[in-house]
Structure 1
């Protein structure tokens, strides 16, 4: 990365001359009027205002229309302004008000008396000692003339002071501006740099950058995408935009690295076609996840990337899967969720899975997908009760057990209404309850056992509040036996506080059996040899849960 310093006015002129252009990954001009006097005051006082970040590349980069009129570049590859657009555009609007293209010109005044910069009111514009900054920042202003026009003649007692202050305002043109120059033809590297330096309020993701670039090549694209996003939200299946763009990249033929969607190979027509396929594929995938996998809403996914493989496979097969592909894909979804398949190397894994879908089919395809999603574990190695120790609400197993409970038609312990009938949105949290209330066991057994997976059940918030901190030996016998069986609650001999550890052990056995059945794994046999490759992923805090 090159570093240097240039006079500020030279960079403003470079923007106006078309030597500096705005790449489409930039947002538009968004500064509010109060920000401009603040910038001028910092420059006037010599305070640091940040470097300009410039990108030089031989790539054909889609551009964003600047908020000021620019001359047409006279060479093929003008420099791209990655950071500093708001500052330079604001100054260009002041220095060259005739070049303003978007929004009104900026009328900022300098108060000769107290050396402040203001956006003047109608009354203040009549104040002769508020000098238009536009007049002062011209290339060769006549300070004495400006002062005489303001009623300050050379014999005025403050003439020399005011003259000096105007000269200091004019010196803003010579403000030494740090320039950082990136020379790269790697979109992903540049997008990462841009995301790190452009954090105004929140960190921009690569997905944000790609969506901005799409707008430059396909003007109605963002409206089309937003309409579909709203549709998914109404269906309670809002999806992370980066996961969606990874699917779009696969369908566009550039791979799961979504940043490649803004590469020179992809035209606006390509984006339009790929997005139409993305919508169709995602609708099919959401239907599959709901009907075949029992996943009620997007918040129940342990990773939004889980939707990509079903969407891509259903698109490639025109939604016509073989029976073994349907059952195998369902098992793959559960396996990918259980073992945190997309906790790392997301794009590389999706690219490999897309190649597999393009080259294989039937049982051979699903076996290989499941093998990959199983990670270091053998794809046929069952979960043991010990695998559920030290697992809580942040474990992917918690989400899978919730899905299993909904699939079994589990009902609330008091209302006897199916949990699946509870009102839900995309982000509705999973409601859960400590079978042995924390107040009863946490001090004696510690938080790890108290909050463990085997002590959690799915009930409504109202029922949880009604149970409160009651002793399980007192409240569980009053609950219908079928409700307890639905949630794999062991026998009443374990319902006493001094039997809490036995309760957990018995329920872990039941939960492991449920998970093995979901994952298509054989039943666990105590004492059976296990593969040395079998390792369990750490809990991931990626699920929406709510203790009620």
Structure 2
């Protein structure tokens, strides 16, 4: 089933997204009409006039698909390979599908039922485990394990394999993806895909764990995690990832895979030590934000007020994890001395439960920080010098916390990678 979101995104049906009223069934819009769906949304969400107008326009555009005129071509053959090839050629003349979708069309021909019975079932399982992945990611992993390269355009030899061999490759892929998620959960504290800057960085992990059949020594575990974190914070797979992925897949296929993976990173990053300047910047989409959370989890950080261990999987809305401005936005804006870049700096961010965050939303640090146990502040690398908690000392506070975060990051990564540096 296809579902449609308010931002005009299409996606495959998953239980978690289907429960969100802002995702609506494409079939429902086309069969029942945009107005009826909009009325349901208004009743459920108490829409304001402006939102009702915008949502109505978008749903109306979707419903007007019924008015399109489509050319029909009848192919007089029952040869599924010819039908698949026709689909790919016709598609190349119209709106281009991604190469991943075309590869999945080929897979559907060579292994009927693979996408529905295997891929979609796996995606739902991962969704329930708070890892929201996409079919194209699974397809990339499948291709990488089956061909030892990542490009969808070079799959001729893959399709020459029989269905039983394709099924075997999928079993290896599924097993390795399962292990990768457990590896990140248990060794890095990454409990949700929300903390993954790039899912492409998972692909070498999947292939590595498939090659070793999931068996890792302590040194390999630390080395693999070290490589993954270095790859993500240095943006190894941003942009077009295929060249970098193929480099890493060749490294994994060799006799010294971890050493060669590290060498790939060192060719791009002359010095792996982190500096305070690298941490500077707005926290939104900052490549170091997930690593900072991982380190705080390793520090056994607790919520400042409830004492609950920081976790993105805590139960109940009051215990959901939120990003907290240590010097609250409202306080800094009111002072009229700091711009948005300074206010949202990564060094001004801590992790708290929703309840705790809301309770100190507009409080001055000098008023609320003294109430918190020092050990809980230290676990999130908060400077303990109370003179830095004054609004006038905000910039000095940021400089000091950046220094503490830098030391923590270098210490954490250095301990993981000491056998591989």
| TM-score interval, smaller chain | 0.7 to 0.9
Where do residues 1-16 of structure 1 align in structure 2 (5 Å cutoff)?
none
The answer to whether the 8 A contact 2:252-2:258 is kept is: no
Aligned length: 349
Moved more, 497-506 or 338-347: 338-347
Structure 1 78/282 Cα, relative in aligned 2: closer, same or farther at 3 Å?
closer
Instruction: Name the counterpart of 1:275.
Output: 170
Instruction: Name the counterpart of 1:70.
Output: 76
Q: Which has the higher strand share?
A: 1
Where do residues 323-334 of structure 1 align in structure 2 (5 Å cutoff)?
323-334=218-229
Instruction: Name the counterpart of 2:265.
Output: 373
Structure 2 CA distance for aligned equivalents of residues 79 and 467 of structure 1:
59
Instruction: Name the counterpart of 1:306.
Output: 201
The answer to whether the 8 A contact 1:382-1:521 is kept is: no
Unmatched 5+ residue regions in structure 1?
1-30, 40-48, 53-65, 84-181, 183-189, 199-203, 523-548
Instruction: Name the counterpart of 2:122.
Output: 228
The answer to whether the 8 A contact 1:252-1:270 is kept is: no
Structure 2 CA distance for aligned equivalents of residues 424 and 340 of structure 1:
32
The answer to whether the 8 A contact 1:246-1:255 is kept is: no
Structure 2 CA distance for aligned equivalents of residues 429 and 418 of structure 1:
11
SS in 2 for 1:468: coil
Deviation at 1:336, TM superposition (A): 1.1
Deviation at 1:80, TM superposition (A): 5.4
Deviation at 1:219, TM superposition (A): 1.5
**Is 1:423 matched with 2:314?**
yes
Structure 1 CA distance for aligned equivalents of residues 356 and 408 of structure 2:
24
Instruction: Name the counterpart of 2:358.
Output: 465
Instruction: Name the counterpart of 2:288.
Output: 397
Structure 2 CA distance for aligned equivalents of residues 214 and 407 of structure 1:
42
Instruction: Name the counterpart of 2:37.
Output: none
Moved more, 485-494 or 229-238: 229-238
Structure 1 CA distance for aligned equivalents of residues 404 and 191 of structure 2:
23
Q: Which has the higher helix share?
A: 2
Cα distance per residue 1:447-493 (max 9 Å; x no partner): 11110001000001111110011111111111222211111110212
| Candidates 494, 502, 522, aligned match of 2:396 | 502
**Is 1:384 matched with 2:279?**
no
* Structure-2-length-normalised TM-score: 0.74
Deviation at 1:254, TM superposition (A): 5.7
Instruction: Name the counterpart of 1:433.
Output: 324
Structure 1 36/468 Cα, relative in aligned 2: closer, same or farther at 3 Å?
closer
Deviation at 1:328, TM superposition (A): 0.9
Instruction: Name the counterpart of 1:453.
Output: 346
The answer to whether the 8 A contact 2:302-2:310 is kept is: yes
SS in 2 for 1:507: helix
SS in 2 for 1:458: strand
Instruction: Name the counterpart of 1:297.
Output: 192
* Structure-1-length-normalised TM-score: 0.57
| Candidates 508, 516, 524, aligned match of 2:410 | 516
RCO (CA 8 Å, sep 6+): is it higher in 1 or 2?
1
Deviation at 1:424, TM superposition (A): 7.1
Structure 1 CA distance for aligned equivalents of residues 196 and 217 of structure 2:
25
Unmatched 5+ residue regions in structure 2?
1-29, 32-62, 417-421
Structure 1 CA distance for aligned equivalents of residues 267 and 196 of structure 2:
18
**Is 1:484 matched with 2:377?**
yes
Deviation at 1:502, TM superposition (A): 0.6
Cα distance per residue 1:13-58 (max 9 Å; x no partner): xxxxxxxxxxxxxxxxxx98x989956xxxxxxxxx5889xxxxxx
The alignment's C-alpha RMSD in Å is 3.4
| Candidates 76, 95, 102, aligned match of 1:197 | 95
SS in 2 for 1:445: coil
Q: Which has the larger radius of gyration?
A: 1
**Is 1:240 matched with 2:134?**
yes
**Is 1:255 matched with 2:149?**
yes
Structure 2 CA distance for aligned equivalents of residues 70 and 430 of structure 1:
57
Structure 2 CA distance for aligned equivalents of residues 316 and 518 of structure 1:
27
The answer to whether the 8 A contact 1:341-1:375 is kept is: no
